Structure 1
């Protein structure tokens, strides 16, 4: 998502907390309309049915449009999808065409009341379903059988999740909000993950795919105040993943991002921060898998981490164009290391043992306003044009990379011109 800020956009963002306004969605297949008070089997705009009835009528390629309101259930999980059915929230309930889809004005909530998993997906269909504009909250995968994915457990099937909010979901094992075991296409974009938790790995998301050919994409999301034993934002296990342009703020675990995958993982353009330096043993990124492919960590901004990067059990990692700011220890290595990298900037860290090649040290990166979590670069920042050439074409905001010369260091590529930046948690 290209986020070109203006005064008008900033004003809108201050007023509206939902990720994005979605336009009227036109999907293939049958359009099925559901309502919290729906009845009958017509499932039309004029006579919407219940969500359970709508799902019972749906086939591969169909779309359910959820009228504003809160959906609860008595089954666990509340919804089980055995067909590739798309779920679109934010329908205004109108009976005219074109109908309006606007999740901000017409919020759709699926609420598990802290005792039920919300959605379980298990389909062999080649169709890829879309889930958009829905708030998933209070999901619970806490019994002896349902222990993964408090909000969504993807057992089988391809899914694109866009512009959703995941709040206060929990699981007893893996994936507080989402657990993915399917080898099919998987993407999460423009979503918010707030206050989700898990006992073990992946406070918000856990990806554990065994034979996936597609690279999973996690992009342009916000992860705030999620918690886990490890991987408070995400645990990446046994899967190839691109984790790009995400905001990770004040999450609690031994790591915000945990990589245990032998497949290729790219962590790029992310901003990972804590308001204050907390537990010295908490890392922004932890990687361990000795026999795996190289994990690439490129153009990230890491602020106030106990440890910026932790490498355990000799995995192959390359660190390029990252900013480590205000951390207790910028890079921590256990035993032998297989670590390479260049053109990273280190400032205000207590311990900088591994500076790697061509580091910039003891130079303030000159953020716009670090006290207000604005980690964009000022025009005289030493990070500008100081990076190595990398295979990235845009930055955290979607601005072109590089601009006006070389690559900048950190998640932001400096762009001239009049802009007003909000605190990043409102972006």
Structure 2
């Protein structure tokens, strides 16, 4: 039976036009929505008539079929979500196949994919989804209860770079056979596959890699997944990689995953074998909780040429009495990791010396409640601010979507925490200045005032981290603060000085901008003062004296613009031989009305006769002014 096609662009067609359209195929330039079962009875039927850019929209229900995208760049999506829209493979081959070079524009979204069974091609891989040399987008599906006697009971990727995101992949495995890999996902030749934000749980394989297996998988990204309850039960030489198994030329980035309660004899959480010349995995900010039954490396097991493998900022724990991390040859590069096993060994084998080096340590990470799988950090956890900000591929947010790289221990330095969660204390940097204004006395231009102090206090519980400190105008500051900021519950002092560069009122601001890593604010103190100056004059301007006698002058210091409240020191120079001078007083404070000093010039019996210009200088700080007196010795 031929079904009409419903177009979402709402064009009205005649009955003749509909019939001709159905017979001749749809226009390639239009993008249409094909409804299942309203327009086509089956999903595969809708795919068959779809053109690139079309959407196949599937109503809730159970569809017993096995579908193939046939290379088309189309979106196949459910209208009601995965829980009510089921594609059942009836153990009649892979449920969904991508094997004709599909690109990321081929999208499977919002289905339960179940009861698939891998066939002889290729190698009995891919029970739920088989992706062979293709790069589709797989999102928001439940992939469950599928079987494969080869590898990838849930999903098998045999080349290509698909994006597998936001799916639940559970209860997939082997039935009636042994020796496969990847109960949940199998990646081989997988270029730059992305496995992001999935729940991969309770899958099993009678081989290696209960959750995910990688075999010569190039450089995939595995990030922000929950990988739990998966089991590898192989027996030769031992089952490996309950959560993740990476072997041969596989160089994955394993970033910020929660891997817990997976089971394998070696590497219950993660196991990697690295061939010579490959750099192998990079593990960053994972929380890996070893499961029961691991004889070596209940959290992490490394084998062969591991010296280029890198582990940064991970928490790796083993059950009581078991080994947490084990290396059977040269150790990987460990930096800022916590490996811990109560009553057991933290680092074992060839990496037994890694504790205490390069920021690695062994201590209870102090989860909030590991018994109920709450792996957030308590406020006293040693994993807080214990990571390396130089680790590669650090994310801006943690596993819960909260900001990454905070100051979690109130030391005013933002440092990444270990594991998947960043401890986020309630932002509470209650910072303030003790006053909002400082007024300085009149200051002679070019001279610096005594300092005035203002206190910056933080009565909150988190650090007020400095982003910038500055003054404007003719003002400068020094401070007793840490260069990083003011921790909660403490204070520091700013010392501000005024150095006017011109006469008259001068203004400026002390501004401190800081953050508690969540909220940024700027604190200001208004600064003001007046720049003043003085002049110096003498009376009389000239006088005569005989050798051996003295003569007096009145020297006057007069304020300019406003009162001068600083001291002006007086001195003379240019005296003839045998002559000297004295001022009474030797310095004055001009104030508002000016001030006088009596200058006495003394000549000696050997003072030569003649006319001499004696210079009188008034000095305040770095500012000085002069006047001249003509002295005649006759």
1:83 Cα shift?
Answer: 2.7
* Corresponding residue of 1:189: 165
* Corresponding residue of 2:68: 80
* Corresponding residue of 1:410: 419
- Tell whether 2:180 aligns with 1:204: no
* Corresponding residue of 1:284: 269
The runs of 4+ residues in structure 1 deviating greater than 6 Å are: none
1:85 Cα shift?
Answer: 4.2
* Corresponding residue of 1:346: 339
For the residue of structure 2 that corresponds to 1:371, the secondary structure is: helix
1:219-234 paired onto structure 2 within 5 Å:
219-228=196-205, 229-234=207-212
- Tell whether 2:46 aligns with 1:51: no
In structure 2, relative to structure 1, the CA distance for the partners of 1:396 and 1:311 (3 Å cut) is same
Cα deviations by residue, 1:32-85 (Å, 9 ceiling, x for unpaired): 1112xx5xxxx2xxxx53223212101223221111000103xxxx11221324
In structure 2, relative to structure 1, the CA distance for the partners of 1:138 and 1:146 (3 Å cut) is farther
* Corresponding residue of 1:99: none
Matched pairs, number? 360
* Corresponding residue of 1:174: 151
* Corresponding residue of 1:235: 213
CA distance in 2 between counterparts of 1:263 and 1:346 reads 24
| Larger RCO, structures 1/2 (Cα 8 Å, 6+ apart) | 1
Superposed CA RMSD in Å reads 2.4
Taking structure 2 as the reference length, the TM-score comes to 0.54
User: Which of residues 22, 33, 45 in structure 2 aligns to 1:31?
Assistant: 33
For the residue of structure 2 that corresponds to 1:303, the secondary structure is: strand
Cα deviations by residue, 1:70-107 (Å, 9 ceiling, x for unpaired): 0103xxxx11221324344332xxxxxxxxxx416x72
CA distance in 2 between counterparts of 1:142 and 1:126 reads 23
Contact 2:202 2:229 (8 Å CA) reproduced: yes
Contact 2:323 2:345 (8 Å CA) reproduced: yes
- Tell whether 2:276 aligns with 1:297: no
1:361 Cα shift?
Answer: 4.2
Cα deviations by residue, 1:152-188 (Å, 9 ceiling, x for unpaired): 11123321111111111111101111111232x3111
In structure 2, relative to structure 1, the CA distance for the partners of 1:385 and 1:32 (3 Å cut) is same
CA distance in 2 between counterparts of 1:233 and 1:29 reads 38
For the residue of structure 2 that corresponds to 1:140, the secondary structure is: coil
Contact 2:36 2:57 (8 Å CA) reproduced: yes
In structure 2, relative to structure 1, the CA distance for the partners of 1:209 and 1:367 (3 Å cut) is same
Taking structure 1 as the reference length, the TM-score comes to 0.78
* Corresponding residue of 1:252: 231
* Corresponding residue of 1:377: 377
Question: Where does the alignment leave 5 or more consecutive residues of structure 2 unmatched?
Answer: 1-7, 9-29, 233-239, 408-413, 428-634
* Corresponding residue of 2:133: 156
Contact 2:290 2:324 (8 Å CA) reproduced: no
Which structure's CA Rg is the greater one? 2
Contact 2:113 2:143 (8 Å CA) reproduced: yes
In terms of fraction of residues, the more strand-rich structure is 2
Contact 1:89 1:108 (8 Å CA) reproduced: no
Question: Where does the alignment leave 5 or more consecutive residues of structure 1 unmatched?
Answer: 1-23, 92-101, 419-427
